[in-house]
């Protein structure tokens, strides 16, 4: 049976196409921006956990995005922490954001860093990190086409690549801690300290010992992803993600509202005919909602398909960037796209249902 | 007396009692229908004539439940639709009434068949099938035009599709608003013959508005309206409209 809804959609191909495109744009915005945020966060958390530390000591109010944190921990605390009961290893890190590579650079003491399970596992080159030497991970080396012996500029300073390590050691670029402190102008200060408890130590006891010893500082439990996420301070991240979802939904909502509102006026006479045929208000509302749902459904599917393409392109061109799009995210994009469009069609549908049939029939 | 009234109510497809319709234009009340009493028996074909602005179209909209009267009653198959809510009037219209318009009012995006299927869907009468459409198309001389869109049909053919749409759900009453007003004489004759056939062969009750006395002569009874009132109920054979005599 020929359907009035599909016939109406087909009869205005330009309007339909633009509406579908606008809804798709909203879904793309939601999925890609949300995906980059989630991907980056997941990547950070995953690589932080991959080091195998049990605790992370940070100045109070710091963020897991270490770049947001000041270098305000006294490096001398390393010795104090090492002496605490239940502590097996501690390594200080000074982190900086490297704008050129859009990522973090860790200044590390390789000897203590490598006491952790997720130490730098050298895949190529010499395991040396002193002076102006740098070690990068495989993903960074692939993205920048680096080989051991090559020179790269990091933080406005030239370094020689000595080795390429396995990805997953928290960040992708490592320089000597002493060099980083010099570049940062903070000779005694570091950003964070990774702490490993002794294998048989009770983690809660060690945590309490650290909390008592360093009041006012932040101690994250890095062994549990949920705890790490819960205790992580991500300034405005959730609000940002919510804002992206809201903006994309608003985009779909407004486009559908405008498109359907215009359609209602365009079809005033047809609504009058429907009423003269005995169509109930529910029938008319249903017809308009169906039309917008169909447009939004197509828009959301297009948005999902394009988002997947964008994800592949981003990953191919920028291997260090992570875009997370789970089946749940895609389903959310579809549902939110549909919901936004349906809500956008409600007012025009209400207007159509309330229309005076006699006036509608005489509409030119 | 009471029995007689009940019997006549059952036999009447339409009955209006002191029907009033007044529009409000700014601060002025404009009466369109004034104390109108009309009875149309089941299976009757009546034509309503009158000059522009005499209230014919308003009356047709009132009879179809598209307008709520400001006074009096309208009984459709014994149901007083003037006391019903908008949604209840819609239900009565869906079940008992069909319109045929001067400008056909087909959906331009749908085919001839699609237009009729839509009417079936709204009526809830076998939305998913095309039963009954083919015989009506044959009867109206539209065989083979199933999948034509209105823009691909002549005016006469469009009006015949509109008639097919009007009868597909077997309504009690067809309200035709100047059904030949946009047609040439040949197509007008065809459409009028079809309406007469529907009335004579199927016993379809038809109320038709027309300016054309020749079209009116197709009906079994002609009613003339002026200033929202009925002037002279007459027979089809003796009718000579007053407003035509004036010119």
Rounded-to-integer distance, Cα B196 and Cα A66, Å: 88
Q: What is the pLDDT of residues A325-356, one digit of tens each?
A: 889 989 988 898 888 888 888 999 999 999 99
Question: Does residue A246 belong to the interface with chain B, where contact is any CB pair within 8 Å?
Answer: no
Name the E strands within chain B: 12-25, 28-41, 45-49, 71-76, 79-80, 97-100, 173-177, 205-209, 221-226, 229-235
Residues A172, A118, single domain; the answer is: yes
Question: Does residue A5 belong to the interface with chain B, where contact is any CB pair within 8 Å?
Answer: no
CB contact under 8 A, A273 and B105: yes
Nearest residue of B to residue A282 by CA position? B87
Residues 6+ apart with CB under 8 A from B60: B48, B175, B177, B207, B209
Q: Residue B67: which of A10, A280, A358 has the nearest Cβ?
A: A358
Q: What is the pLDDT of residues B158-212, one digit of tens each?
A: 999 999 999 888 898 999 999 998 889 888 998 999 899 889 988 899 999 998 8
Distance of CA B62 to the CA centre of its chain: 11
What Å distances lie between residue B209 and A158, A357, B55, B186, B222, CA to CA? Answer: 94, 19, 11, 19, 10
Residues A95, A200, single domain; the answer is: yes
Residues A217, A311, single domain; the answer is: no
CB contact under 8 A, B110 and A4: yes
Predicted confidence band of residue B237 (pLDDT cuts 50, 70, 90):
very low
CB contact under 8 A, A2 and B111: yes
Nearest-Cα distance to chain B for A7, in Å, is 6
Residues A144, A260, single domain; the answer is: no
Contact A24, A306 (CB under 8 A): yes
Over residues B15-21, mean pLDDT: 95
Over residues A126-135, mean pLDDT: 93
Res A156 pLDDT > 90: no
Last residue of one domain, picked from the residues A173, A188, A221: A221
Q: Residue B93: which of A1, A8, A278 has the nearest Cβ?
A: A278
Residues 6+ apart with CB under 8 A from A119: A51, A113, A169
Domain count, chain A: 2
Last residue of one domain, picked from the residues A190, A221, A252: A221
Q: How many CA atoms lie within 13 A of A65 on its CB side?
A: 16
Nearest-Cα distance to chain A for B167, in Å, is 11
Lowest model confidence (mean pLDDT) among A91-105, A169-183, A192-206, B207-221 = A91-105
Residues A74, A146, single domain; the answer is: yes
Predicted confidence band of residue B5 (pLDDT cuts 50, 70, 90):
very low
Q: Residue A278: which of B61, B94, B110 has the nearest Cβ?
A: B94
Residues A168, A60, single domain; the answer is: yes
Which chain B positions have a beta carbon within 8 Å of A1's beta carbon?
Answer: 114, 117, 121, 127-128, 130
Which single residue is written with the structure tokens 């179809």?
B64
Rounded-to-integer distance, Cα B190 and Cα A149, Å: 95
Residues 212-241 of A with CB under 8 A from B: none
Res A83 pLDDT > 60: yes
Which chain B positions have a beta carbon within 8 Å of A11's beta carbon?
Answer: 108-109
Res B80 pLDDT > 90: yes
**What residues are paired with A166 via a beta bridge?**
none
Q: What is the pLDDT of residues A237-266, one digit of tens each?
A: 777 878 888 888 888 888 888 888 888 888
Res A66 pLDDT > 70: no
CB contact under 8 A, A278 and B123: yes
Residues A91, A199, single domain; the answer is: yes
Rounded-to-integer distance, Cα A220 and Cα A59, Å: 11
Residues A208, A80, single domain; the answer is: yes
Residues A37, A60, single domain; the answer is: no
Residue A155, by phi and psi: left (phi above 0), alpha (psi -120 to 50) or beta? left
Res A283 pLDDT > 80: yes
CB contact under 8 A, B117 and A2: yes
Residue A94, domain member (yes or no) = yes
Nearest residue of A to residue B57 by CA position? A358
Residues of the domain holding A114: 52-221
Residue A226, domain member (yes or no) = no
Over residues B143-171, mean pLDDT: 90
Residues A247, A116, single domain; the answer is: no
What phi and psi, each to the nearest 5 degrees, are found at residue B85? -75, 170
Residues A130, A264, single domain; the answer is: no
Residue B35, by phi and psi: left (phi above 0), alpha (psi -120 to 50) or beta? left
Residue A230, domain member (yes or no) = no
**Domains of chain B and any CATH numbers:** 40-67+88-245 (3.40.50.300)
CB contact under 8 A, A278 and B97: yes
Instruction: Give the residue numbers in B contacting A (CB under 8 Å), as ranges.
Output: 61, 64, 66-67, 87, 90-91, 93-95, 97-99, 101, 105, 107-111, 113-114, 117-119, 121-123, 127-128, 130, 165
Last residue of one domain, picked from the residues A221, A246, A264: A221
Nearest-Cα distance to chain A for B92, in Å, is 8
Q: Residue A279: which of B114, B122, B130 has the nearest Cβ?
A: B122
Residue A228, domain member (yes or no) = no
On whether the pTM is more than 0.80, the answer is: no
Average pLDDT, whole number, for chain A?
A: 86
Which chain B positions have a beta carbon within 8 Å of A273's beta carbon?
Answer: 105, 107
Residues A87, A167, single domain; the answer is: yes
Q: Is A35 helix (H, G, I), strand (E, B) or coil?
A: helix
Which chain B positions have a beta carbon within 8 Å of A8's beta carbon?
Answer: 109
Among B115, B70, B60, CA closest to B93: B60
């Amino acid at each position: 049976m020929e359907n009035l809804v599909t016939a109406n959609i087909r009869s205005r191909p330009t309007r339909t196409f633009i509406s579908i495109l606008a809804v798709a744009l909203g879904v793309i915005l939601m999925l890609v921006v949300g995906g980059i945020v989630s991907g980056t966060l997941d990547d950070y958390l995953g690589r932080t956990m991959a080091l195998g530390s049990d605790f992370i000591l940070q100045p109070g109010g710091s963020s897991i995005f270490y770049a947001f944190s000041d270098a305000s921990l006294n490096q001398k605390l390393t010795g104090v922490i090492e002496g605490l009961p239940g502590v097996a290893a501690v390594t200080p890190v000074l982190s900086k954001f490297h704008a050129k590579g859009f990522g973090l650079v860790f200044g590390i003491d390789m000897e203590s860093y490598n006491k952790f399970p997720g130490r730098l596992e050298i895949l190529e080159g010499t395991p040396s990190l002193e002076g102006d030497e740098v070690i990068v991970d495989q993903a960074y080396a692939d993205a920048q086409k680096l080989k051991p012996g090559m020179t790269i500029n990091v933080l406005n300073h030239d370094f020689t690549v000595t080795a390429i390590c396995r990805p997953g050691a928290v960040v992708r670029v490592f320089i000597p801690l002493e060099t980083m402190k010099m570049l940062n102008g903070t000779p005694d200060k570091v950003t964070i300290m990774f702490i490993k408890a002794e294998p048989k130590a009770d983690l809660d006891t060690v945590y309490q010992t650290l909390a008592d010893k360093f009041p006012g500082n932040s101690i994250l439990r890095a062994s549990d992803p949920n705890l790490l996420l819960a205790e992580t301070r991500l300034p405005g991240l959730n609000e940002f993600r919510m804002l992206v979802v809201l903006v994309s939904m608003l985009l779909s909502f407004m486009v559908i509202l405008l498109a359907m509102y215009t359609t209602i006026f365009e079809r005033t006479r047809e609504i009058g005919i429907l009423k003269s045929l005995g169509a109930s208000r529910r029938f008319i509302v249903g017809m308009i909602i169906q039309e917008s749902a169909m447009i939004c459904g197509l828009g959301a599917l297009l948005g999902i398909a394009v988002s997947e393409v964008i994800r592949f392109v981003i990953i191919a061109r920028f291997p260090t960037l992570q875009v997370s799009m789970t089946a749940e995210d895609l389903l959310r994009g579809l549902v939110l796209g549909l919901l936004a469009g349906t809500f956008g069609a409600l007012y025009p549908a209400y207007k159509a249902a309330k229309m005076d049939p006699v006036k509608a029939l005489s509409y030119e | 007396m009471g029995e007689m009234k009940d019997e006549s109510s059952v036999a009447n497809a339409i009955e209006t009692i002191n029907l009033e319709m007044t529009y409000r234009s700014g601060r002025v009340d404009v009466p369109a229908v004034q104390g109108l009493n009309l009875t149309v028996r089941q299976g009757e074909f009546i034509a309503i004539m009158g000059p522009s602005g005499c209230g014919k179209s308003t009356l047709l909209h009132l009879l179809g439940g598209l307008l709520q009267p400001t006074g009096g009653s309208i009984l459709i198959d014994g149901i007083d639709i003037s006391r019903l809510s908008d949604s209840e009037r819609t239900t009565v219209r869906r079940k008992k009434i069909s319109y045929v318009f001067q400008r056909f009012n087909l959906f331009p995006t749908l085919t001839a068949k699609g237009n009729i299927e839509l009417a079936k869907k709204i009526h809830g009468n076998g939305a998913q099938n095309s039963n009954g459409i083919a015989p009506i198309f044959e009867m109206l001389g539209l065989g083979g035009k199933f999948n034509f869109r209105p823009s691909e049909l002549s005016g006469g053919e469009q009006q015949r599709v509109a008639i097919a749409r009007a009868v597909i759900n077997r309504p009690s009453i067809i309200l035709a608003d100047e059904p030949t007003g946009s047609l040439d004489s040949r197509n007008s004759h065809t459409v009028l013959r079809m309406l007469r056939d529907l009335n004579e062969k199927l016993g379809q009750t038809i109320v038709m508005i027309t300016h054309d006395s020749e079209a009116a002569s197709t009906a079994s009874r002609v009613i003339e309206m002026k200033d929202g009132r009925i002037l002279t109920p007459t027979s089809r054979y003796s009718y000579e409209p007053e407003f035509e005599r004036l010119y």
